[in-house]
Amino acid sequence: MSKGKKIILIIFIFSAVVLALFIYTSKVAFTDSKNCNACHFITPFYKKWETSTHKEVPCLKCHEYKALKAVAGQFMFLAGAYNPRPLTNVPDKNCLQSGCHDKRLVESKALFTKRGINFDHKPHFNEMKRGIKLHCRSCHSDIVQGEHLKVSMNVCYLCHFKGVSHDQAATGCPSCHSAPHQPIVIMGKTFSHDEALKAGFKCNTCHTEITEGEGTTEKDKCYFCHVDKSEKYDDTNLIHEKHVSEKQIDCLWCHSKITHGKIKMAAKIPMLK
């Protein structure tokens, strides 16, 4: 065999091996959720996924990540420029694909009975809320809540209570839940919310403080992701557009928590019987 033919044969064999490895990697190894841990530092999130309601759903059915990007990541890793904890988006279309949550916006209302909250997905998904375009992951966050794709109440509180006094909600109390219809006992006496509301009393007459925390964002938090880049800190609309609408950054990566509940009641409750 001539030298030229040997070179062509070697190139052919090398190309065939590379192609076979690429096909195996992209079609078999790359699509196996177990292998995500090999490159990414996601062990806590992987373990939550293993015990979650989405445990039968492969990672790549939700997360958009291509084999070519993974290959490029290997070269970046060798060059010392790869971030092993990259942020990844889950496009809304992946959540709403057939066989998953495609009926969510049709059957949009949900009742969280434990908290008595009436939630409607449609306006949160289709409308701008406080000037922000929300995504599925805006509420279904795996970072804040500590569960994989569970609803984060902390995000709800941040949106509904930030910027208002501690005895009010930005959207009003009835936007999330109604008052109890059955009389309750307070300090050994009976109290009816229905009668109090008919008499013209407001929620904050008794519930004088329903939140703790301001939900502020310290400028120093910008430096966790950006090196010496906070000149747009005061441009709230731009910040939310880039971080929430485009990048789907979890709100509490930047904002401090706001807690909600019966923080402080009035010393005197009217209409006690």
What would the two tokens of residue 95 be?
């959540």
pLDDT digits over 55-66, tens only?
888 888 898 887
pLDDT on residue 144: 40
Percentage of the chain surpassing pLDDT 70? 95
pLDDT digits over 69-78, tens only?
777 877 877 7
Locus of tokens 């076979």: 20
Residue 9 lies in a domain: no
Q: How many domains are contained in the chain?
A: 1
Q: Is 134 left (phi over 0), alpha (psi -120 to 50) or beta?
A: beta
pLDDT digits over 29-64, tens only?
778 888 887 777 788 888 888 888 888 888 888 988
Structural domain including 124 reads 89-273
The string over 17-53, giving b where at least 16 C-beta atoms fall within 10 Å of a residue's C-beta and e elsewhere, is eeeeeeeeeeeeebeebeebeeebebeebbebbeebe
pLDDT band at 96 (very low <50, low <70, confident <90, very high): very high
pLDDT on residue 191: 93
pLDDT on residue 85: 61
* Of the candidates 266, 124, 250, 258, the residue with the CA atom closest to the CA atom of residue 204: 266
Residue 6 lies in a domain: no
Residue 188 lies in a domain: yes
Residue 140 lies in a domain: yes
Residue 48 lies in a domain: no
Residue 157 pLDDT > 90: yes
Residue 198 lies in a domain: yes
Residue 272 pLDDT > 70: yes
Residue 98 lies in a domain: yes
Rg for the chain, CA atoms, rounded? 26
pLDDT digits over 177-208, tens only?
888 889 999 888 899 999 999 999 999 999 99
Distance CA 42, CA 102 (A): 28
Residue 272 lies in a domain: yes
pLDDT band at 142 (very low <50, low <70, confident <90, very high): low
Q: SS3 for the chain, per residue?
A: CCHHHHHHHHHHHHHHHHHHHHHHHHHHHCCCHHHHHHHCCCHHHHHHHHCCCCCCCCHHHHCCCCHHHHHHHHHHHHCCCCCCCCCCCCCHHHHCCCCCCCCCCCCCEEEECCCCEEEEHHHHHHCCECCECCCHHHHECCCCCCCCCCECHHHHHHHHHCCCCCCCCCCCHHHCCCCCCCCEEECCEEECHHHHHHCCCCHHHHEEEEEECCCCCCHHHHHHCCCCCCCCCCCHHHHHHHHHHHCCCCHHHCCCCCEEEEEEECCCCCCCC
Distance CA 196, CA 192 (A): 6
Half-sphere exposure of 76 (CA within 13 A, CB side): 12
* Strand 117-120 to 109-112 pairing: antiparallel
